[in-house]
Amino acid sequence: MPHTPEPDEDDLDAIAPPQPVFHVEQALLGALLLNPHRLDDVCGITADSFSTTAHAALYAAISTLPQPDPAEHAKNTTWLDRVLATALEETRGLTASYLHALVQVCPWPSHAPAYARMVEAEHARRRLLTATEHLVHTVHDASLPHPVQTVLAEADALAAVVDDIANRFPPRSGVLPRTPAPPPTAADDTEAVEEEQLLLATATARPDDIDAVRWLLPDDLTLPLHAGLWQCLTTLARRDEPIDPVTVLWEAQQRGLLDDGADPGEVLRMLAEPAGSVGHWAERALRRSLLATAEHTGRRIEAYASDSANTPFQLVAGARRALADIAAVRTRWQHAAGTAPVQQRRAAPATRAGPPTTTAAHAARPTRATR
């Protein structure tokens, strides 16, 4: 039976226990307070690597103040007092008793480099989570004047974080996150459905324009029926066979697209109402697909980074595999928009990688012969 606290009882159960990294940070700080010279053995972290402002302020004070003479430090608390005073300039609530408690909880001061590596690994996880949150938020920001460019910039920023983590924790071959990837978000967009219907109808009416939008794939469309009909259209065009609503419907039947109860009459009516241009509707569909891919990639990496059982090696391997999906649709978007850049050599950064370049200039493709 669940415990019901008395009216005058503190509700301590509502306070979540500290995460393991909190105890690791305490052990590291305790080692450095006890033996300040061990700071020379610690690398890869800064004050920003710590999970609390108090720990960050203490580490900043320890790393900026001159190290005390070991003999003097063993006899008095002068240096500890200076650390406390310096840290209190950045945060409140620290006390001398907490510093002494940190020294007491450190199990083995000589393990400070190992503790620092653990702090660095957890900081890498938090950085990855922050970058994915920015990416997903940008996808849903309706106020952006140029959403695709902004989302791709956020994807580049995420890739830079992954590159930096890889420099610090090189991935091991074949080590992928154990966390199952979340399923793609179900599409529920009336505007998308209407625009895809116009794309299919316009391509049926103007089949010679299909070849110019070969960068659009069936998976870019939101509904399985629409994806299947687009595949019917591209297949008929590739075979140079007659294309009209009836021939497309027949091809759809051969592919089993009507087996789920789709009304043939509704399909014919949909394919008989063209408007606009194939290129316009295809670009709209690809834009929507790029944004959806970016969101799913962000959610996927977020799931990996939220699982504390995944090591930095696994996070890098999983994130890079997920980012490859954005790179693929990005290449097709650049071809559609005519902005495919010349591939540039990317220098390996020391601590933080720059945005990756993933595509080469798109070679011109011959147009399909006029019917």
Q: Residue 367: pLDDT above 50?
A: no
124-138 pLDDT per residue, tens: 999 999 999 999 999
Q: Residue 170: pLDDT above 70?
A: yes
**Residue 282 confidence (pLDDT):** 97
Nearest to 231 by CA among 212, 210, 259: 210
45-104 pLDDT per residue, tens: 999 999 999 999 999 999 999 999 999 998 899 999 999 999 999 998 899 999 999 999
Query: What percent of the chain lies above the pLDDT cut of 70?
Result: 86
Query: Region 302-325: what's the mean pLDDT?
Result: 94
Q: How far apart are CA 175 and CA 28, in angstroms?
A: 28
Q: Residue 369: pLDDT above 80?
A: no
Q: How far apart are CA 332 and CA 322, in angstroms?
A: 17
Q: How far apart are CA 138 and CA 338, in angstroms?
A: 24
Q: Residue 364: pLDDT above 50?
A: no
Query: Region 103-110: what's the mean pLDDT?
Result: 93
Give the global pTM.
0.81
Query: Region 242-263: what's the mean pLDDT?
Result: 93
**Residue 186 confidence (pLDDT):** 65
Q: Which residue has the higher pLDDT, 105 or 370?
A: 105
**Residue 283 confidence (pLDDT):** 96
**Residue 8 confidence (pLDDT):** 47
